[in-house]
Amino acid sequence: MKPFAYGKPGTTTEAVRAVAAEPSAMFLAGGTNLVDHLKLGVARPDRLVDVTGLLSAEIREDDGGLVIGAGVRNSDLAADQRVRERYPVLAEALLSGASPQLRNMATVGGNPLQRTRCVYFQDVTTPCNKRSPGSGCSALGGYTRHHAILGASDQCVATHPSDMAVAMAALDARVHVLGPAGERVLPFPELHRLPGEHPERDTVLEHGELITDITLPATSWSRRSTYRKVRDRASYAFALVSVAVGLSISDGVIEDVRVAFGGVAHKPWRAQHAEQVLRGARPSDDVFRAAADAELADARPLDGLDGGNAFKIPLAARTLVAVLRDLTAEECDR
CB 9 within 8 A of CB 49: yes
Q: What is the pLDDT of residues 7-61, one digit of tens each?
A: 999 999 999 999 999 999 999 999 999 999 999 999 999 999 999 999 999 999 9
Q: What is the pLDDT of residues 173-231, one digit of tens each?
A: 999 999 999 999 999 999 999 999 999 999 999 999 999 999 999 999 999 999 999 99
- Would you say the C-alpha torsion 312, 95, 174, 320 has a positive or negative sign? positive
Q: Which residues contact 52 (CB under 8 A, 6 or more apart)?
A: 8, 28, 29, 30, 71
Q: Which residues contact 168 (CB under 8 A, 6 or more apart)?
A: 90, 112, 188, 214, 268
Name 334's bridge partners. Answer: none
Confidence at residue 330, expressed as pLDDT on a 0 to 100 scale: 82
Could you tell me the residue ranges of all domains in the chain?
5-50, 57-334
pLDDT for 311 beyond 90:
yes
**CB atoms near residue 126 (< 10 Å):** 18
Torsion of CA 279, 173, 48, 76, to 10 degrees: -110
Strands, E assignment, 154-270? 174-179, 182-187, 210-216, 225-230, 241-250, 253-262, 269-270
Q: Which CATH number fits domain 5-50: 3.40.50, 3.30.43, 1.10.3470, 3.30.70?
A: 3.30.43
Give the confidence band of 124 by pLDDT, cuts at 50, 70, 90: very high
Helix (H, G, I), strand (E, B) or coil at 274: helix
pLDDT for 334 beyond 80:
no
Fold match between domain 5-50 and domain 57-334: no
Q: What is the pLDDT of residues 65-93, one digit of tens each?
A: 999 999 999 999 999 999 999 999 999 99
Mark 53-64 as b/e (b = at least 16 C-beta within 10 Å): ebbbeebeeeee
Length in residues, the chain: 334
The topology under which CATH files domain 57-334 is 3.30.465
